[in-house]
Amino acid sequence: MISNKEDYKDYLQSDLRSAKIQKWKWQYRYKHEILKFQRLLRKIEYYQNCKKDLFSKIYLLFLKYSYKKISLKMGFTIPKNVFGPGLSIPHYGTIIVNPRAKIGKNCRIHASTNIGEIDGEAPIIGNNVYIGPGAKLYGAITIGNNVAIGANAVVNKSVPDNVTVGGVPAKIISEKSSKAMIIEGHK
């Protein structure tokens, strides 16, 4: 979670590196809508968590309005303070994440993904996790570090570190980790 200006800068840089970009350029605002979305998400997290003066609270309202507009346009329902640094969203499309979910650094999440809750409990997802297109994760489960979740998998049970899961319901299909499928934007 972003708790100071250094964290904010680190999150922004990690998200860029996860998209294979080293430095933000003003042209990206028009070329990379997903990165524009992510930068706005991080800015909201920074202002909500760190800035308490009146001007910042008013500016935060404007940021939230802009965020809602771009979220609707892109089909993303991604709440604040859920994803760690190094978030990678490679494609437009519906992504729904419950606000109770906690997701570590370097998560690569694809379109048509749903991370939901059951009885008020949502998944806790480790670092360096690849979530394939159409995957559904729900309930009080823990996904380990370096896990790859296959396309259209339905994950309703906890998953250990360094494996690949797939199927309905999801089960371990390989002992390979997610290392080849993600870009580590945050070390």
**Tens digits of per-residue pLDDT, 73-127?**
999 999 999 999 999 999 888 999 999 999 999 999 999 999 999 999 999 999 9
Residue 186 has pLDDT above 80, yes or no: no
In a domain, 146, yes or no: yes
Residues 71 and 100 in one domain: no
Residues 15 and 70 in one domain: yes
In a domain, 181, yes or no: no
Q: What is the pLDDT of residues 120-153, one digit of tens each?
A: 999 999 999 999 999 999 999 999 999 999 999 9
In a domain, 184, yes or no: no
Q: What pLDDT is stored for residue 181 in this prediction?
A: 86
Between 21 and 151, the higher pLDDT residue: 151
Q: Is the separation of the CB atoms in 132 and 151 below 8 Å?
A: yes
In a domain, 87, yes or no: no
Residues 105 and 164 in one domain: yes
CA 99/CA 7 separation, integer angstroms: 20
Q: What pLDDT is stored for residue 107 in this prediction?
A: 95
CA 148/CA 39 separation, integer angstroms: 25
Between 183 and 47, the higher pLDDT residue: 47
Q: What pLDDT is stored for residue 11 in this prediction?
A: 94
Residues 168 and 102 in one domain: yes
Residues 101 and 169 in one domain: yes
Residues 103 and 163 in one domain: yes
- 40 is in which domain, residue-wise? 5-75
Residue 187 has pLDDT above 90, yes or no: no
Residues 31 and 102 in one domain: no
Structural domain count of the chain: 2
Q: What is the pLDDT of residues 33-70, one digit of tens each?
A: 899 999 999 999 999 999 989 999 999 999 999 999 99
Beta-ladder partners of 115: 97, 137
At 30, is the pLDDT very low, low, confident or very high (cuts 50, 70, 90)?
Answer: confident
Q: What pLDDT is stored for residue 54 in this prediction?
A: 94
Q: What pLDDT is stored for residue 163 in this prediction?
A: 96
In a domain, 22, yes or no: yes
CA distances 58 to 2, 39, 44, 47, 53, Å, are 19, 19, 12, 10, 9
Q: Is the pTM of this model over 0.85?
A: yes
Q: What pLDDT is stored for residue 79 in this prediction?
A: 95
Residues 102 and 169 in one domain: yes
Query: What residues contact 73, with CB distance under 8 A and at least 6 apart?
Result: 33
